[in-house]
Amino acid sequence: MRLQKMKIILPIMALALAALPGPMATGHEFAADASVTLNNNGDIFKGRVSSDRGRCERGRKVTLMRDFKKKPSKAVGSDVTNKKGRYRIVKENARGRYFVKVARKLNTPYGHRHNCKGTRSSTIKAK
C-alpha cells in the first residue's frame, strides 16, 4: 500500500517542481551623466545632449529657459531629442540671456534601473 502511494505522489511532486519558475535574471542598475550644448542663430536655438550611454541621449526633454538677472528664470520653449541626441527650439524675438535644462530620465524596464541624470547648459546671450 505504501509503495502504491509513493508511485502516485512522486510524479505529482515532479510535475509541481517542473512548474515552478527557474532562476530569474537579476536586473542591473546604472546612473549616467550627460552634458548639453546650446547654440543660437537668430530665432533658432539648437544643440545636442551627449552621454556615454546612448539611451541617455535620445528621448530627453530639453527646456529653453530665459535667464533674468533679478527674477527667476522662465521656461519659454521645449523639445525632445532625436535618436542622435539633437534638439531644436524656435523662439521668436529672442533677445536676452538663455540656457537649456535637460530633465532627469528614469527608465525601469524589466527590473532594470536606468538613471540618466539631468543637466543644464551654460548661459548664452542671444542678439
Q: How confident is the model at residue 125 (pLDDT cuts 50, 70, 90)?
A: very high
Pairing of strands 105-107, 61-67: unpaired
Q: Which domains does the chain have, with CATH numbers?
A: 27-126 (2.60.40.10)
Cα dist from 38 to 46, 72, 79, 82, 111, whole Å: 6, 20, 13, 15, 35
The predicted-structure confidence for 46-104, as pLDDT tens digits, reads as follows 999 999 988 889 999 999 999 998 999 999 999 999 999 999 999 999 999 999 999 99
HSE-up (13 A, CA, CB side) for residue 44: 5
Calculate mean pLDDT across residues 96-113: 86
Is 46 exposed, middle or buried, given 0-12, 13-18 or 19+ CB atoms closer than 10 A? middle
Q: How confident is the model at residue 21 (pLDDT cuts 50, 70, 90)?
A: low
Q: How confident is the model at residue 15 (pLDDT cuts 50, 70, 90)?
A: low
CA distance 1 to 88: 81
Q: Which amino acid does the sequence have at 66?
A: R
- Take residue 48 and report the three cell numbers written for it: 545636442
Residue 25 has pLDDT above 60, yes or no: no
